[in-house]
A and B are shown apart, each in its own frame.
Chain A
Amino acid sequence: MASTSISHLIWFIVAVLVATATAVTFVTIVDSYSEGIKDVGKDTTGSLLTSVDFINDPSAVIYKKATSTITFYVKNTGNYDIETSSMLLVANGTAASGSALTVSIIVNGPEFAYGSVAQVTAVVPNLREGVDYSAWMNVNGLSPSGNRQGSDTTSMIFKIKAV
């Protein structure tokens, strides 16, 4: 009689342990999935609220021949601030980011917020006047809490004006 009770008790403990372990695993997986849904939502939201545009005169993008430095003016036309440290510029196939880009907010600074204009300069060798070139830029948005959230890409066909 006593051995039957002990056997039932062991079965009970094992059943509860297995059920709990299974439930915890299940909840952990679903929790991870839920966080993934939230992250995707935040990223999509950020991309909808992040927007930039080149505002250069496309027929006269300033190019300093002596230093092979090209200057772009990028305007924040979205709702989110833009993270200046993670900008990526590609002009005539030459990519520049991080320390290869010089970014300064020259209108409505110091943050790169809605309506602000950033002057972005990079070294792009061997550009010539009268030739059509293309450039595109990718930026990351910053949520109101300051987290990187969403991105936007803008592009432009241009000619340089050598100075």
Chain B
Amino acid sequence: MRLGVSVSVSAIIFFTSFALCLSMVFSATQVYYEGIKEAEDQNALRTQNSLHSSFEIMTSGYNATKHVLSINLSNTGSSTLATRHLDVLTDGVLVTGNITSIKSGAIAAGQWYPATTITITLKQAQKPERVKVSSEYGVSAYTSTIQSI
């Protein structure tokens, strides 16, 4: 057996392992960049929706007889907001569970479109001093003017 055969076989082993290593690094890098690219896209979409979200509390009224708080809000941004992800706090306490209806006009609103208004009605034991409403992207509106109705 000639010495050249040993060299050739060793070279083949080295080249094969080198090719294997290259494919492993390529595969890992591809997974890395594809995953991050997709996540960056979703993150950018979320940020975009957040930046385009804006709403304000127009009026808020409390009915002491029925123990009902009504909050009228206007979507002043350009994002459509899901009403099921709206949260309400009165005097620092989360009262989202007390919401009885979210309506646009007389119709129950699932989506809250730009330049439209909704009314959130909820059960409330006492007239609150402050009301906060928070959207799905964490954008919020406050009021400390609650009328008696």
A binds B: yes
How far is B24's CA from A38's CA once the two chains are assembled, in angstroms? 11
- Given A12-B9, A16-B9, residue A45 in contact with residue B91 (CB < 8 A): no
A97 at the interface (CB under 8 A from B): no
- Given A27-B20, A45-B35, residue A55 in contact with residue B13 (CB < 8 A): no
**Interface code A47-64, partner B: CB below 8 Å = 1, 0 otherwise?**
011010101110111100
Q: Which residue of A lies closest to B32 (CB)?
A: A41
B2: chain A residues at CB < 8 Å are: 8
Q: Which residues of chain B have a CB within 8 Å of any CB of chain A?
A: 1-3, 5-7, 9-10, 13-14, 16-18, 20-21, 24-25, 27-29, 31-33, 35-36, 38-40, 42-43, 46, 50, 82, 84-85, 87, 89, 91-94, 96-97, 130, 132, 134, 136-138, 140, 142
A5 at the interface (CB under 8 A from B): yes
B7: chain A residues at CB < 8 Å are: 15
A134 at the interface (CB under 8 A from B): no
Whether A75 and B32, one on each chain, are in contact in the complex, defined by CB atoms closer than 8 angstroms, is no
Q: Which residue of A lies closest to B131 (CB)?
A: A57
Whether B42 and A19, one on each chain, are in contact in the complex, defined by CB atoms closer than 8 angstroms, is no
A42 at the interface (CB under 8 A from B): yes
Partner of B97 from the list A45, A51, A106, A115 (CB cut-off 8 Å) is A106
Q: How many residues of A contact B (CB 8 A)?
A: 52
Majority DSSP secondary structure for residues of B touching A = helix
Whether B94 and A8, one on each chain, are in contact in the complex, defined by CB atoms closer than 8 angstroms, is no
Q: How far is the CB of B72 from chain A (nearest CB, A)?
A: 19
Whether B136 and A77, one on each chain, are in contact in the complex, defined by CB atoms closer than 8 angstroms, is yes
14 A-B pairs, CB-CB below 8 angstroms? A8-B2, A8-B3, A15-B6, A15-B9, A15-B10, A16-B13, A34-B28, A48-B43, A49-B43, A57-B89, A60-B92, A73-B89, A75-B134, A107-B97
- Given A30-B24, A48-B40, residue A23 in contact with residue B13 (CB < 8 A): yes
Whether A117 and B87, one on each chain, are in contact in the complex, defined by CB atoms closer than 8 angstroms, is yes
- Given A19-B13, A37-B28, A38-B28, residue A79 in contact with residue B97 (CB < 8 A): no
